[in-house]
Amino acid sequence: MGCKTHKHQTYCVYCRDCGQLACHVCLSQNHKKHDLEEIKKIVEEKKMEIKDYEQRYWTIILPEDDDNDFRLDKAVIILRNEKYDETKKLIKDHEKFMKNEVAKHINELLVDLDDRLKTNKLCILQEKKKLIERKSQMNEKNREIRECEKKTRHKGNSKNSRFC
C-alpha cells in the first residue's frame, strides 16, 4: 500500500504510538524510538479483535428477540465483511510490497555479482599477462646464461665468465 505522505514509498510497519502505518521515510522522520510492529502481526491482532467483538455481540449485546437477532446478525456480517476486506487488502498490499522488495534486492545482488565476476576476470587476465612477461624474461635470462656457460667452457677462461 502506498504511503499517503511519500507517494514513492510503501508502508512497511505499523506505529503503535501513532496508530498508523509508516513507510521507511516516515520512520526516519516521524517515528524514531516509537513502538513499531510488523504489519502482519497487527493484522493478526485486528482479526482477533474482530472475533472478540463478534463474540461479545453474540453473548452480551444480542437480545433473545428473533427480529433483533436477524437485524444484528446482518449488521455483524456486514461489519465482519468490511473488516475482512480491509484486513485482506492490507495483507495483500504487504505481500506485494515484500515481493517487490525481495525482487529489488535480488536484482541488486545479481548486478553486484556480475560486477565482481567482471572485475575478477580482468584481474586474472592482468596477472596472466604479467606471468607470461616474467616467463619470457626468465627464458631470455636462461638463454643468456646458457650462452655464457658455452663461451666459458670453450675458452676455459674464468675471467671472461665474470662479464657474462
Does 83 lie in the same domain as 103? yes
Cell matching residue 98: 515484500
- 139 falls within a domain: no
Q: Counting Cβ atoms within 10 Å, is residue 23 exposed (0-12), middle (13-18) or buried (19+)? A: buried
CB 134 within 8 A of CB 147: no
Does 43 lie in the same domain as 25? no
Does 58 lie in the same domain as 2? no
Does 23 lie in the same domain as 59? no
- Is pTM beyond 0.95? Reply is no
Does 118 lie in the same domain as 87? yes
Total number of domains in the chain: 2
Domain coverage including residue 5: 1-34
Does 81 lie in the same domain as 11? no
What does the pLDDT profile of the chain (164 residues) look like in tens digits? 788 888 888 888 889 899 888 888 888 888 888 988 888 888 888 888 888 877 766 665 555 555 555 656 666 676 677 777 788 888 888 888 888 888 888 989 999 999 999 999 999 999 999 999 999 999 999 999 999 998 888 776 555 445 55
